[in-house]
Structure 1
């Protein structure tokens, strides 16, 4: 990965101290991060990446809840406690019943600095891969109600186009941001698993703002990234900065942090 690309991405991104010192009542820091269950260095290492980003809302992929791999217990609640992002939800995609034990669950999660008002979870089309979910979450931010669509699309090329089409259809069917009874802003994020600018991804980006497009910094695999598959897109907000977080050991993905003005 080009050092120049990284420097350009970091050049205008305010530090947490700068953020607190400036008068920015309607600036939101939105992040996506595939944590690979925390199996590499544990959940504390994941929480440190989130803490250093000073994110307000974080979409997480590959999260376990009493899952058979990774740390035991409720990883979402643990990360919420470690990061201080007290509002959280877990979105299971796979559930395995275990007699006499807590069911093993695997899926996504969302951490938020602000209260969660609504949650809707829908299955995505599936041909050969494991179940995938699309979650819609409404958050009560200081700027007003903010809508989050988060997902983790299939790694199989034959499954992704239909999933991506459903994602775009849901975004296009949503009310215009700022309209009556509509959210003030909307963010679409997650691990899209799409290494190329496929037709479905081009169609999605055409109706959203993609602050990572100019540099197109790769996000996977973390130790030597060669593809950009983790995205934060937006509607109804002005993108101020985009940053790919430089931690190559906590997960096999690099986190993506964006700054928006609403």
Structure 2
């Protein structure tokens, strides 16, 4: 049962003031990216299950595509612990559990740990095509990967890549280069590309490496930067981003408030995109 336990105020994020008019004839793809922190918050005895509230949050985003990071298929220790709580640990993997009715879900594992694993997921209102996973781990202490899914939207095959880059700047540069090489090898040159996720780029130094791969950072019209999303209680950093090829950003917003701050250490980033 996808029911929350105390989270309120999860309304659909409003249109930003910089939006183009909705009646301008532009086909709009509403996209969100969200690091869900494995569906739990806190540590020790204060650790709490948030996956049920996250289900309400994802539904409230009302996005055509939801790019998710730190998603679990299973975790034995947390499942035992939270199975005794009121709502319990979901029987499904988190990607399928979070997918609103009518959505398709794609998931691939990035990291395997002693009690479970986690990875990236894409939830889509639109039909999914091929699903691929590409390992971009840079060293043995961090397992990282790209989830590549073809989404069929408005007669277009949009190549969607869910990314979660490493904690070390040099690793992120190499991962950006591997992303570019992967796109060059696996994506047709004229196809629209959307890369979204948690880039962990605290110092705002990653854009040149991604631009070299033919990608442009999506940002609200008239501004060069993405809105800040981390940490969720007092956002200071734009770690969560979208990069595009063949698409343009029509609007971008970040849902805020106590309910969103509670569910993960990141806030979701929401954008409306159109074909370039």
- Distance, in Å, in 2 between the alignment partners of 1:158 and 1:238 is 29
- Distance, in Å, in 2 between the alignment partners of 1:42 and 1:242 is 25
Task: Indicate yes or no: 2:22 matched with 1:12.
Answer: no
SS of the aligned residue for 1:50 comes to helix
- Distance, in Å, in 2 between the alignment partners of 1:96 and 1:249 is 25
Asked whether the 8 Å contact 1:122–1:133 carries over to 2, the reply is yes
Task: Indicate yes or no: 2:175 matched with 1:163.
Answer: yes
Task: Indicate yes or no: 2:97 matched with 1:78.
Answer: yes
After TM superposition, the runs of 4+ consecutive aligned structure 1 residues lying more than 6 A away are none
Asked whether the 8 Å contact 1:129–1:154 carries over to 2, the reply is no
Task: Indicate yes or no: 2:199 matched with 1:196.
Answer: no
SS of the aligned residue for 1:108 comes to strand
Cα shift at 1:172? 4.3
SS of the aligned residue for 1:131 comes to coil
- Distance, in Å, in 1 between the alignment partners of 2:156 and 2:109 is 27
TM-score by length of 1: 0.80
* 2:46 match: none
Task: Indicate yes or no: 2:234 matched with 1:228.
Answer: no
Task: Indicate yes or no: 2:104 matched with 1:87.
Answer: yes
Change (3 A) 1:85 1:196: farther
Cα shift at 1:94? 2.4
Change (3 A) 1:143 1:168: same
Cα shift at 1:25? 7.0
Encode CA deviations 1:99-123: one digit per residue, 9 max, x unaligned: xxxxx33111110001111011111
Equivalent residue for 1:127, pick from 139, 148, 154: 139
Cα shift at 1:158? 4.2
Q: Which runs of 5+ in 2 are unaligned?
A: 1-14, 42-48, 80-88
What is the number of residues matched between the two proteins?
A: 236
Encode CA deviations 1:185-223: one digit per residue, 9 max, x unaligned: 21011101111122x432214532323263432111111
